Structure 1
Amino acid sequence: MTADIGRVGVWSVELRTAAPGEIADAAAELDELGLGALWIPGLGGGDIVGDLERLLKATRGLTVAPAVSSIWRHPAKELAAGHARLTRAYGDRVLLGLGVSDPGTAAEHGHEYRPLHDMAAYLDELDAEPEPVAAQRLILAAMGPKMVGLARRRAGGTHPFLVTPDYSATARELLGTGPLLAPYQAVTLERDPAKARAAGRGFLTGFFGAPAYRKSLLAQGFTEADLADGGSDRLVDSVLAWGDLDAIGKRVAEHLQAGADHVALHVLGVDGLSLPQWRELAGLAQSAG
């Protein structure tokens, strides 16, 4: 496996967008709570290296990762140099998550969209840098079998988004026994079904219509009807884990039993940093360990 990042981590928009002091304090507490990794989204680009360093400075043992940096918004030269600098300062605590975004983003940067070719070419650019990123420190946002195959050959693993435990089993088969498989998992500790699903749809609905995620969800066995009107209850319940800690723990265990090495938990339906929820979810890091 690429890296020992524990069984459970936190995926959070707010760990990138909240006030710097609040981010540092939250990261330090998450480190003390025993979480294995912190995942922050690529968003629209920006200073991802600086945002990773803020988390590294505040912690002692956690791994940090962008989930994921767009290859169109961050030149290979920039990310390779940034990764080298962070590694010298903080050791092997950075996994560099990379994604091909979408046709619109590629077009904005003057490129035709050829996902597999584009990612392979970007990896070539990283390899050609004076301080290349070791393959074991690269994580690809791979969902389809061809991109998973590229990750198996040229990266340390994959970080798939909006996938079920059944997908984790399929991905493990494709990856083999070595590479890291660290799926994203949306969660809410809301016990009421209607409120939980509303929280899920509030964040996830926009992704259901995005071509890459739509294709992935259809390949996972969902139907066009499941994807319509904000997503069916079946779809939402499959990509969102909701309920008490036991219910969330069951979903984490299903991913791990299917072959995942680590599950990145994203708390939905909360304004601001989700510290109370993270404190509760931290118990899963020990029980899944």
Structure 2
Amino acid sequence: MTSETRQTLGRIGIWSGALRGSGTDDAGRRAIAEAVAELEEVGYGTLWLGGNPSPDDAAAVLAATRTVTVATGILSIWEHTAEEVAARIAALDAGQRERFVLGLGVSHGLLAPQYAKPYSAMVAYLDALDAATASSGGGRRVLAALGPKMLKLAADRASGAHPYLVTTEHTAEAREALGPDALLAPEVSVVLDTDLDRARTTARNMLSLYLKLPNYTNNLLRLGFSESDFEEGGSVRLLDGLFALGDAERVRARTREYFDAGADHVALQVLTAEEGGAGLPRPEWRELAEVFADEL
């Protein structure tokens, strides 16, 4: 199932919180439907619904597309019960289920009031998902995994891992922890801007939230960064380690570094100063599709 999932995801995907339809009006949902249809047309392998998408968000994108894989990146186990998720997956038609990958994560204490014992909670959730009458099974799910224990769980109980906000060094460590067979699909944030000072400002605007979350800062400390790297929105060393900044060719080169470190698939999150990182940057998505044409 892992090799099949690798093929399903393709090499390059798009990660975007703006692809979630929750809380949007009819015009917003139409804009999402048009955007995902174009992303499918230009050849991206997977569309990752960023943030905390619901099963219904995924169902809407599946309905608006025909062939592209749709993944949750990442659905919080605190927000949706395993039984609810399994039932919603079962309600998809067979073709849509074949195109769906369930990404699960434990979120963060600052975002989920019920957050406690995250590893044990994930194990219990996977047990409940497997026990559900309409279980999705383990072959089409991935876990948001940063540390060694969760990475091992991702290899043992899912197709693999979908780490967020990580360096190439983490990718190499994750590949070693997962073993050669499990899927490794990191998210990589992109700023298409040749003015590197301005690109780093855009990156810092996005990074500010995550530097308040211990799951991420602890992981970065494990990777050799220091507390001083978190000051003033992030040091240049931190930004250059976490982001792909520059023109499309530079983004392609940075993405190659993740593949060389052991990634099977890279999910690109495009950040723009104009949209505050939260919109539908369709021109940038098209530009990247052109430079990655031989990998799509």
SS at match of 2:35: helix
Q: In structure 2, which of residues 88, 107, 117 is the aligned counterpart of residue 114 of structure 1?
A: 117
Q: In structure 2, which of residues 265, 268, 280 is the aligned counterpart of residue 273 of structure 1?
A: 280
SS at match of 1:163: coil
| Matched residue, 1:27 | 36
Q: In structure 2, which of residues 87, 90, 102 is the aligned counterpart of residue 84 of structure 1?
A: 90
- Percent sequence identity over aligned pairs: 45
Question: In 1, are the aligned partners of 2:252 and 2:292 still within 8 Å (CA)?
Answer: no
Return the TM-score normalized by structure 1: 0.93
Distance in 1, Cα, partners of 2:259 & 2:85: 30
Question: In 1, are the aligned partners of 2:6 and 2:264 still within 8 Å (CA)?
Answer: no
Q: In structure 2, which of residues 217, 238, 246 is the aligned counterpart of residue 243 of structure 1?
A: 246
Match for 2:171: what amino acid? S
Stretch moving more, 208-217 or 82-91: 82-91
RMSD of the alignment, in Å? 1.5
The unaligned stretches of length 5 or more in structure 1 are: none
| Matched residue, 2:69 | 63
Distance in 2, Cα, partners of 1:101 & 1:244: 32
Stretch moving more, 118-127 or 200-209: 200-209
Match for 1:212: what amino acid? N
| Matched residue, 1:288 | 295
Q: In structure 2, which of residues 162, 179, 182 is the aligned counterpart of residue 179 of structure 1?
A: 182
1:154-233 correspondence to structure 2 within 5 Å: 154-233=157-236
Distance in 1, Cα, partners of 2:198 & 2:181: 39
Q: In structure 2, which of residues 6, 15, 19 is the aligned counterpart of residue 15 of structure 1?
A: 19
* Distance apart, 1:3 and its partner CA: 3.5
Q: 1:151 to 1:87 in 2, by over 3 A?
A: farther
SS at match of 2:264: coil
Distance in 2, Cα, partners of 1:63 & 1:168: 22
Question: In 1, are the aligned partners of 2:167 and 2:241 still within 8 Å (CA)?
Answer: yes
Stretch moving more, 78-87 or 219-228: 78-87
Distance in 1, Cα, partners of 2:179 & 2:98: 23
Distance in 2, Cα, partners of 1:282 & 1:94: 22
Question: In 2, are the aligned partners of 1:34 and 1:285 still within 8 Å (CA)?
Answer: no
Question: In 1, are the aligned partners of 2:12 and 2:266 still within 8 Å (CA)?
Answer: yes
Q: 1:287 to 1:51 in 2, by over 3 A?
A: same
* Distance apart, 1:179 and its partner CA: 1.5
Q: 1:87 to 1:100 in 2, by over 3 A?
A: farther
* Distance apart, 1:88 and its partner CA: 2.7
Question: In 2, are the aligned partners of 1:87 and 1:94 still within 8 Å (CA)?
Answer: no
Match for 2:255: what amino acid? V
The unaligned stretches of length 5 or more in structure 2 are: none
Distance in 2, Cα, partners of 1:33 & 1:51: 22
SS at match of 2:139: helix
SS at match of 1:3: helix
Deviations 1:65-86 (A, max 9, x none): 1110111111111111112222
SS at match of 1:31: helix
* Distance apart, 1:178 and its partner CA: 1.6
Match for 2:64: what amino acid? A
Distance in 1, Cα, partners of 2:291 & 2:235: 28
* Distance apart, 1:287 and its partner CA: 3.0
Q: 1:224 to 1:273 in 2, by over 3 A?
A: same
Distance in 2, Cα, partners of 1:142 & 1:83: 22
Deviations 1:20-52 (A, max 9, x none): 111111111111101000111243x6xx12211
* Distance apart, 1:104 and its partner CA: 4.3
1:96 partnered with 2:102: yes
Distance in 2, Cα, partners of 1:267 & 1:175: 27
How many equivalent residue pairs?
A: 283
SS at match of 2:58: helix
Question: In 1, are the aligned partners of 2:89 and 2:97 still within 8 Å (CA)?
Answer: no
Return the TM-score normalized by structure 2: 0.91
